[in-house]
Amino acid sequence: MRVYYASTAGGVRRAVFDLMDALGWERLVERGSDALLKVNLTWDYLRPGVNTGPWVVEAVAERLKARCGRIFLGESSQILVDADRSLRAGGMAAVCERQDLTWHNFSSNSWVTVERNGLTFGIPGICTRMPTISIPVVKTHYRTGISIALKNLYGCLNDGRHNYHYRLPDYLAAVNMAIPVLFTVADGTVSLEGNGPKPGKPLRTDFCAASEDRVAMDASLARTMGFDPSCIPILEAAEGMVGSSAGLEEVPLPPMAAVPSFHFSPARPNFVARVEKLLRRSSRGQGDSPLMGVMRLGARQWYRAAYVLLGQKREAMRLIDGLPYGPQWLGVREEER
C-alpha cells in the first residue's frame, strides 16, 4: 500500500490537492454523498501541533465540495476538553463558516453500540450514515507512542473511552474496524514531539501525507518521526485488521525529493497522567471512582494555569507569527495572506 508525502513549502493547499489527486480521491468518494471529516481537537487552547491545523482541513474540504453533498466536521469532547471550545480556539470554526461545513460534536449527538473482536462500545451514529475522511495531526503520545491515523479514531469511541486505557491498542483496533475510512490526510505542517498529546513541544516539519491504509500510514510516519514501528503496540494490534504495512511503498511527490526524516523526542506521561494511571490500575475499565472527579477538576485547573504560567500561550503566538501558514489559526484564509 502506498503512502504519499508532499512538502508544504509551496503552500498547504497545493500540497493537499496533489496528495488527494495522487490517491485518486474521486474514485473513493461517491458523487453527491455526504462526508464526515474526522479531525483531532485534543485541546481547547491554542497550541500548534496539538490539534489538526485548520489550513489542512480547509484544503481537503475545498477539494471535496465539488463532488460531495453536505460535509460534516466531527470530533468529541474529552474528560478534560470541551470540543466546542476547541473548535473556536484553533481557528476551525472560521473554516466551517467559510467552507459551509456542519460542525458535529459527537458527544452531543447519538451513539450506536457495536461489537468488534469481542469488545462492545459506542461509536457516533453519524459514522454509520456516511463515509469518513480522517485528518489527524502528526504527534507523539505517551500511551501509544504515536498519534496519527489509527489513534485519530479514538474520538469515535463513546464518551467513557478513558476507561478503555487498560486495553487501548485492542480498543483502537476495534474502533478502526467499526468505522471505514476512505482515506487519511495527515497534517505534518506543525507536529508535536515529546510529552504528547498535549504538553509536548511543537515542531515545524512542513509536510503532509496521505494514504488509503491507516496501518501503512502509521508505520511509515513512525519511521519518519524516528521510531521503530515494531515498538508501536497499536500497529501490532491493527495489523491485518484495518490495513497492513506489508508491501509498504513510500512516494514523495515532486518537488519533494525524498521522504522526510526526523528524530522526535518520545513521549512520557506527565504528573496528571501518572496519577490517573495509578488510580485506574485496579479498575480495569469498570468506570470512574469518586476520586476521579476530584482529579478531573484539579487537572483542568492545572492545564489552565500551565498554559499561561509555563509560557505555552506565548510560545503559541510566537510560533504563529513565524509560520507562513500560522495566521490561519487566527481565522485568516491561506490565499488571503
pLDDT at residue number 337: 47
Predicted TM-score (pTM) of this structure:
0.91
Q: Which is nearest to 225 in space by CA: 51, 5, 20?
A: 5
Residues 6+ apart with CB under 8 A from 180: 131, 132
What is the C-alpha separation between 335 and 59, in angstroms, rounded? 11
Superfamily the domain 2-336 falls into: LarA, N-terminal domain (3.40.50.11440)
Where is 111: in which H helix or E strand? strand 111-116
Residue 257 grid cell: 525529493
From first to last of the 337 residues of the chain, give the pLDDT tens digit.
Answer: 999 999 998 899 999 999 999 999 999 999 999 999 999 999 998 888 999 999 999 999 999 999 999 999 999 998 788 999 999 998 899 999 999 999 999 999 999 999 999 999 999 999 999 999 999 999 999 999 999 999 999 999 998 887 888 899 999 999 999 999 999 999 999 999 998 898 889 999 999 999 999 999 999 999 999 999 999 999 999 999 999 999 999 999 999 999 999 999 999 876 555 555 555 554 555 555 555 555 666 666 677 777 877 788 888 888 888 888 777 777 778 765 4
pLDDT at residue number 281: 54
Q: Which is nearest to 221 in space by CA: 140, 124, 316?
A: 140
Q: Do the beta carbons of residue 205 and residue 260 sit within 8 Å? A: yes
Where is 208: in which H helix or E strand? strand 201-211
Beta bridge partners of 204: 190
Q: Which is nearest to 324 in space by CA: 89, 15, 31?
A: 15
What is the C-alpha separation between 186 and 82, in angstroms, rounded? 23
pLDDT at residue number 317: 86
Note the helical H segments in the chain: 12-23, 25-28, 54-64, 83-89, 92-99, 168-178, 214-224, 233-238, 271-280, 290-309, 312-322
What is the C-alpha separation between 288 and 163, in angstroms, rounded? 7
- Burial class (CB within 10 angstroms; exposed 0-12, middle 13-18, buried 19+) of 140: buried
Domain boundaries, the chain: 2-336
pLDDT at residue number 162: 79
HSE-up (13 A, CA, CB side) for residue 252? 12
- Burial class (CB within 10 angstroms; exposed 0-12, middle 13-18, buried 19+) of 244: middle
pLDDT at residue number 318: 87
Residue 105 CB: number of other CB atoms within 10 A? 18
Beta 71-75 vs 102-105: how paired, if at all? Answer: parallel
